[in-house]
Chains A and B, each alone.
Chain A
């Protein structure tokens, strides 16, 4: 048990400074990103989901924040498709957390997982809107 405890503590000793550093960086960049959310969407039905997915990928925070921002974006006239891609990549793609993910789960796994999640974010957004339009 003692050895297990020591090993786990060693893991956390490695994780905590990295996590704290990333949180510091994110809190530094977030205010700038928030100001640009509404202005970077073009109104283009094809381009906006891609922009939504890109912005969601580099954004960070608890999911509820993405819902609140999305609600505001919808009010600004941004399409639900773009907002869906934004919500999905917000929680499935973690560019900011990539160093931490690589450190624990491996470079190949982390990079491919994030790339696939980015692509899936757009596909699921399209499928969700198509299904929603079909049933309503």
Chain B
């Protein structure tokens, strides 16, 4: 007998469970559930162009950045340069972090150090496009001071994570 291969994946089960929850709650509060669902769809479509861009970058990275190159620039032998690359790219690359997880997951598989992943993710909090908004609400001094601390603490973050996840 032919073996059944069409097993539903865990992420799909999760999504269907949440949709099930929506269906149940819809009975109690149609307006709230419809609003939440529409907001999700709007947000998802807003994220699609970024997702597409990250997909293209992922394909290019996987194609051109082979394991040995990643190991050289962001791996255990990368040295100070690796930390600098992680910091700069973390600050410059925009978009929500969860969109970048697949790309970072691939880089990790190719040999990127956990400490540099942590540095990259922490520096993403120096959000250049949002700096004017931050200045508007909290002032220039607050924005500059906090941004400097984020960069400094990204290094501590990398050091601690590197030590903890080291086997």
Residues of A within 8 A of B (CB): 1, 4-5, 7-8, 11-25, 27-28, 30-31, 62-64, 67-68, 70-71, 80, 84, 87-88, 91-92, 94, 97, 99-101, 103-106, 108-109, 112-113, 116-117, 120, 123-124, 127-128, 131-132, 135-136
* Residues of A contacting B130 in the complex (Cβ-Cβ under 8 angstroms): 63-64, 67
User: Could you tell me if A64 and B102 are in contact, using CB atoms closer than 8 angstroms?
Assistant: no
A136/B141 in contact, CB under 8 A: yes
Q: Whole-angstrom distance between the alpha carbons of A51 and B133 in the complex?
A: 24
Q: Is the CB of A18 within 8 A of B15?
A: yes
CB distance from B68 to the nearest CB of A (A): 16
Quick check: is B12 within 8 A (CB to CB) of the other chain?
yes
A-chain residues with CB within 8 Å of residue B96 when the two chains form the complex: 62
CB distance from B37 to the nearest CB of A (A): 7
Interface hit among B69-77, B78-86, B117-125: B117-125
Q: Tell whether, in the assembled complex, residue B18 and residue A24 are in contact, meaning their CB atoms are under 8 Å apart.
A: yes
- Apart from the given pairs A21-B14, A100-B98, 10 other A-B contacts in the complex at a CB distance below 8 Å: A5-B59, A12-B51, A15-B101, A21-B11, A91-B125, A97-B98, A104-B104, A105-B105, A120-B157, A131-B149
- From A8, A19, A71, contact of B98 by CB (8 A): A19
Report if A104-B102 is in contact (Cβ < 8 Å); known contacts: A4-B62, A27-B43, A128-B146. Answer: yes
Query: Given A18-B14, A24-B18, A132-B141, is A11 in contact with B106 using a C-beta cutoff of 8 Å?
Result: yes
Q: Which of A14, A15, A70, A106 has the most CB of B within 10 A?
A: A15
Q: Report Cα–Cα, A20/B17, bound state, in Å.
A: 12
Q: CB-nearest residue of chain B relative to A131?
A: B145
Chain B residues positioned under 8 Å from A27 (CB to CB): 36-37, 39-40, 43
A75 to B133, CA, bound (A): 17
Smallest Cβ distance from B93 to chain A, in angstroms? Answer: 14
Q: Are A15 and B11 in contact (CB under 8 A)?
A: yes
Which 5 pairs between the two chains have the least Cβ-Cβ distance?
Answer: A104-B105, A21-B15, A18-B11, A17-B15, A104-B101
Question: Given A23-B44, A97-B97: A70 and B137 within 8 A (CB)?
Answer: yes
Q: 25 pairs across A/B with beta carbons < 8 Å?
A: A17-B9, A17-B12, A20-B44, A21-B17, A24-B18, A28-B22, A30-B36, A31-B32, A63-B130, A67-B137, A68-B137, A80-B142, A101-B98, A104-B102, A104-B105, A106-B108, A106-B165, A113-B118, A113-B161, A116-B160, A124-B149, A128-B145, A131-B145, A131-B149, A132-B145
Among residues of B, the one whose C-beta sits closest to the C-beta of A71 is: B137
B89 proximal to A (CB < 8 A): no
